[in-house]
Structure 1
Amino acid sequence: MGVNTNQLLSSCCLLFLAGFSSGGKILVFPEDGSHWLNMQFIMKELHVRGHNLTVVRSSRSLYIQASSPLYTVITVNITETAVDAEFFTILLQRSVALRKMSPIVRFFEQQRDVATMLQIFHNGILSLISTMLDDSTLMKELQDSKFDLMLTDPAFPAGVLLGNYLHLPMVYNVRWLNTGDAHMAIAPSPPSHVPMYNSMFSDKMDFLQRTENFLRYVVSCLQEQFVIIPIYDKLLKKHFPSDSDLLTMQRSADIWLMRVDFILEFPRPGMPNVVYMGGFQCRPSQPISAELEDFMQSSGEHGVVVVSQGLTVTALPKEITEAIASAFAKLPQKVIWRYMGERPLSLGNNTMLLDWLPQNDLLGHPKTRVFVSHGGTNGIYEAIYHGVPVLLLPLLFDQFDNAVRLEVRGAARVVDVGTITSKEFLEALQDVIRNPSYRNTMQKLSKLHRDWPLSPLDSAIFWIEYVLRHKGARHLSSEANNLPWYSYQCLDVIVFLIAIISTALWASIILCRLLCCRSNKKQKKD
């Protein structure tokens, strides 16, 4: 069938003009690690749609590439950083030690550790953004670039501060903010039924759990006010108007693309400018390499166990690794394990160790029977998308909360990494493989997750372009963002009402006394 040359040229011109006219200039300030992985999915789609992307990265970045065909790079030279691969190893060792403590001791030790980590991370971010704002040449270049939008992950506020400095409309790719769930900064979060970060509670709490959850809520507010905010005080005074404050800046984003789907997250209050896009990185599986395919097929009817501890943890402590490897060796299934440490002595012939594995493609393979995971958000949503049951060994950060959410839905089992034994791990793994309820529940969640009129990624892109088209979305922001905390909680109203009631009571008492005194005097005269 022939092709009309004029029609083809006309079509190409129309596509070019459409891309040129709709494309925006977007400044992207991502976070490193797994956060960067999911930011890339959004950036690739924006690039396909003709948008011009510029990424800000630190010279000490672990995963953000210094060059890419998708975007232009601005690299900020940082001489030192406290956060590297060894730092996460130390955090892991500390996390294992915490799991062995009694609940009360663990609570206080956790809060101390969180305060220390917040200081380390935020001081590193302060160094990065200070270097940028102090560089007048760089700031002039950014201002002259006339960006249309800031896309940032506000887990740490470098992108937030830069976006406010440049007066750009902002879209967040967000899950965590300051001391916990980002919902806390923008939507009502009653501790009576909204579990706090690292509480490991569901939304159905008994009295003691609600008490602990309330204490965690109070502590998180105190950490925000007395640990995080003071770190940026001097920076704000130097580069921003006198009435500027960090929390108001953080709440000023036009759209919050929340990496949440309520098939996993517990229901809670939201806001009009919050767009839920949990699992937006999930996609149909692609063919794997011939070597991996041969290994998968060699498992026969038993199938394969896929194992990954995520990006930040390359290997577990030796005693835990040996216990897990010994359990794997006793399985009839084959095992593919993303592992970068010293080869375990108890490793069986049925286990393949890889520095990297195509996780999404393996989870979508028909031979995969179970996913052994640390509980990272990306991996959990990929398992849900493909309907694969999970055995969880939470290690750090939000992984403990993710594990609870999937466990209470009956789609996973959780093993405590602090007290793990080879026998316990093997029993839990065999239960997930043999008990059909885990797979059935996960497949039900998969159907719910996929049953949307618009995919999570398409929804995210729509709202980014919505902000570009309208140069913001301030009409979706709640006035609560502009209220001080005491007004938001109506404490000033409560104090006012108490003062009126107290004054009225006091006046009534005085009046009664005066009347009584007059009555007594009259009686005496009579």
Structure 2
Amino acid sequence: MTVIVLFGSLCNGGKILVVPLEGSHWVNMDILIKALHGQGHSIDVIRTYNSWFVKENSTYYNSITIPNAKGMDEKFVEDMLSKLIDHERGKSHWLSAVQLLLDVVSDTYEMHKMICQLITIMFESEEIMKALQEKQYDLMLTDPVWGAGIFLAHKLKLPMVYNVRWTTTGEGHFDVAPSPVSYIPITGSGNTDKMNFFQRVKNVFHYFLMAFQYSYFNLPQYQALCDKYFHPPVSFDELLQGADIWLMRVDFVFEFPRPTMPNIIYIGGFQCKPAKALPHDLEDFMQGSGEHGVIIMSLGAFISALPDDLTEEIATAFARLPQKVIWRYTGKRPSTLGNNTLLVDWMPQNDLLGHPKTKVFIAHGGTNGVQEALYHGIPVVGIPLFFDQYDNLLRLQERGAGKIVSIATLDKNTLHAAIQEVINEPSYRLSMKRLSHLHRDKPVKPLDSALFWIEFVMRHKGAAHLRTESYKLPWYSYYSVDVAVTLFAVVLILTLFIFLIVRYMCVKCCSRKRKTE
């Protein structure tokens, strides 16, 4: 029997339905939910029965657990990470690059297949849909990497706000704003906004690769559900692009300049805040570092362990440093771990980054961690692992605020040299401090801006006046191909008409001349 578990108490504000994503995406969605709860709103959160991060019991949201709906779990991420690390470190045959690409496409397909099953379970359950409809929500808040929130918003006829960096297609801007690939780098291309000819060729290749994956693997799954459950028919692309407000988790201190749209609201760093006092044990450790200071290392919410030989190399590099190190790591304890290194299962990352003793942040390049480092002005040594991490770190490196060490070249010597360079070369810290000042110099705090626009949509039942009509156009109209073809045809017909008239006149003249002769 379908069971819907609701916790918490109702508030006097609006009613918001949230369909989140797992991992670091949930970490920043959770911050928004807490802030909305503080404003007096009642929040219901959809979760799968095996949800990795979204807890069933909470004091500030009501959980709606969907039985028999499986979501992304720890094993799913660990398997993908293991394949990527083996490939990057050259432990696989060169032909494995093709296999790796197929595995990534297959894993992505399976992830969206799970979400489509979640949608099906909800839509096929009269009890679930009746309960959701009776709640009479005012707003859908969702992360569009998964399509479940988009489907529910359309089914329940709710205005929709995205907490977004990525969508089912790729980087969110490409769905809603003009995105010339001549100077806007595609995620995974390794390009910046300054590209030579060959880099632009590579960028175009990655664009079509992204479009191919979406069009032939992700879109058909969602479109099949659109055709099944929605009448009159609607395209999934139209639903995806039809959100009222896009709360984009970047700003232009971090992102390369590019065209945007009036319903994109930039809230980069909204999760950042001034540092609070550390627990006594951590504060004592920090103060014990003397003039050398402390290095912080964390590889984010998804990464719990690395290959043993890699952790041994990292631990050896740390042991050679005069600085102390706090390393968030839950794997096997390295045998080469030095007395200067403290392993922890969890750490108050924001508070540590804001501590005056912190010198460098060693990170995987997730958006949350990079933005916290930027907020506090701490230079970064980046070890990218997957997804957008290399691209995030590249944005810092291009601005002189970080240095990338790839998994392929990572050992005790390269890591030690990178840390020493970032600590001893003042330009890294100065560049990051400059970026930090720019990032903080705003008329409205990003979290306050996010709250305003969510409540704006609730007050006005949407924000249609900010949405462009472009998402309703077919591609040939969007790019004016039909206009170009029509104009070409008109010019061609006129040219042909003039040619025929001239030819006719010439023939006539020649005919009269013969008769005269």
Question: Normalised by the size of structure 2, how large is the TM-score?
Answer: 0.94
Letter in 2 for 1:62: W
Q: CA deviation at 1:270?
A: 0.7
Letter in 1 for 2:231: P
Q: 1:85 aligns with which of 74, 96, 103?
A: 74
For residues 140-197 of structure 1, the C-alpha deviation after alignment (integer angstroms, 9 at most, x for no partner) is 1111111001111111111011111100011110000123210111000000111111
Q: CA deviation at 1:126?
A: 0.4
Distance 2:454 2:231 in 1: 28
Structure 2 vs 1, CA of residues 210 and 111 (structure 1 numbering), >3 Å: closer, same or farther?
Answer: farther
Single out whichever of 185-194 and 84-93 deviates more from structure 2: 84-93
Q: 2:142 aligns with which of 133, 152, 161?
A: 152
Kept in 1, the 8 Å contact 2:89–2:407? The answer is no
- In structure 2, the partner of 1:258 is 248
Q: 1:284 aligns with which of 271, 274, 287?
A: 274
Structure 2 vs 1, CA of residues 321 and 100 (structure 1 numbering), >3 Å: closer, same or farther?
Answer: closer
1:238-253 map, 5 Å: 238-253=228-243
- Cα RMSD of the aligned pairs, angstroms, is 1.8
Structure 2 vs 1, CA of residues 105 and 521 (structure 1 numbering), >3 Å: closer, same or farther?
Answer: farther
- In structure 2, the partner of 1:418 is 408
Q: CA deviation at 1:137?
A: 1.4
1:357 aligns with 2:347: yes
Distance 2:96 2:370 in 1: 26
Distance 2:335 2:97 in 1: 35
Segments of structure 2 that go 5 or more residues without pairing to the other structure are: 1-10
Distance 2:426 2:96 in 1: 35
Q: CA deviation at 1:113?
A: 4.5
Q: CA deviation at 1:422?
A: 1.2
1:34-113 map, 5 Å: 34-78=24-68, 80-81=70-71, 83-99=72-88, 112-113=102-103
Kept in 2, the 8 Å contact 1:258–1:277? The answer is yes
1:188-337 map, 5 Å: 188-337=178-327
1:367 aligns with 2:360: no
Q: CA deviation at 1:505?
A: 2.5
- In structure 2, the partner of 1:133 is 123
Kept in 2, the 8 Å contact 1:56–1:73? The answer is yes
SS in 2 for 1:176: coil
Letter in 2 for 1:318: D
Structure 2 vs 1, CA of residues 464 and 80 (structure 1 numbering), >3 Å: closer, same or farther?
Answer: closer
Identity percentage of aligned residues: 48
SS in 2 for 1:296: helix
Distance 1:177 1:492 in 2: 29
Distance 2:215 2:514 in 1: 63
Structure 2 vs 1, CA of residues 207 and 109 (structure 1 numbering), >3 Å: closer, same or farther?
Answer: farther
For residues 274-331 of structure 1, the C-alpha deviation after alignment (integer angstroms, 9 at most, x for no partner) is 1000000001111111111111111111111100011111122222211111100100
Kept in 2, the 8 Å contact 1:308–1:374? The answer is yes
Q: 1:429 aligns with which of 401, 408, 419?
A: 419
Kept in 2, the 8 Å contact 1:306–1:362? The answer is yes
Kept in 1, the 8 Å contact 2:17–2:140? The answer is yes
Distance 1:499 1:115 in 2: 41
1:386 aligns with 2:385: no
Kept in 2, the 8 Å contact 1:282–1:382? The answer is yes
Structure 2 vs 1, CA of residues 129 and 512 (structure 1 numbering), >3 Å: closer, same or farther?
Answer: same
1:453 aligns with 2:447: no
Q: CA deviation at 1:434?
A: 1.2
Distance 2:99 2:239 in 1: 31
Q: CA deviation at 1:114?
A: 4.3
Distance 1:141 1:261 in 2: 38
Structure 2 vs 1, CA of residues 370 and 345 (structure 1 numbering), >3 Å: closer, same or farther?
Answer: same
Letter in 1 for 2:26: W
Structure 2 vs 1, CA of residues 175 and 290 (structure 1 numbering), >3 Å: closer, same or farther?
Answer: same
Letter in 2 for 1:246: F
Distance 2:359 2:204 in 1: 39
Distance 1:448 1:482 in 2: 37
Structure 2 vs 1, CA of residues 76 and 423 (structure 1 numbering), >3 Å: closer, same or farther?
Answer: same
Q: CA deviation at 1:358?
A: 0.9
Single out whichever of 501-510 and 239-248 deviates more from structure 2: 501-510
Segments of structure 1 that go 5 or more residues without pairing to the other structure are: 1-18
SS in 1 for 2:450: helix
Letter in 1 for 2:211: C
Distance 1:392 1:67 in 2: 35
Q: CA deviation at 1:470?
A: 1.1
Kept in 2, the 8 Å contact 1:170–1:253? The answer is yes
Kept in 1, the 8 Å contact 2:87–2:97? The answer is no
Distance 2:477 2:211 in 1: 16
Single out whichever of 501-510 and 272-281 deviates more from structure 2: 501-510
- In structure 2, the partner of 1:174 is 164
SS in 2 for 1:122: helix
Distance 2:453 2:95 in 1: 45
Distance 2:69 2:127 in 1: 19
Distance 1:242 1:149 in 2: 23
Distance 2:292 2:444 in 1: 36
Distance 1:204 1:110 in 2: 29
Letter in 2 for 1:275: I
Distance 2:181 2:102 in 1: 21
Distance 1:271 1:164 in 2: 22
Letter in 1 for 2:62: T
Letter in 1 for 2:477: S
SS in 2 for 1:193: coil
Letter in 1 for 2:506: C
Distance 1:284 1:497 in 2: 59
Question: Normalised by the size of structure 1, how large is the TM-score?
Answer: 0.92
Kept in 2, the 8 Å contact 1:320–1:417? The answer is no
Structure 2 vs 1, CA of residues 207 and 426 (structure 1 numbering), >3 Å: closer, same or farther?
Answer: same
Letter in 2 for 1:403: L
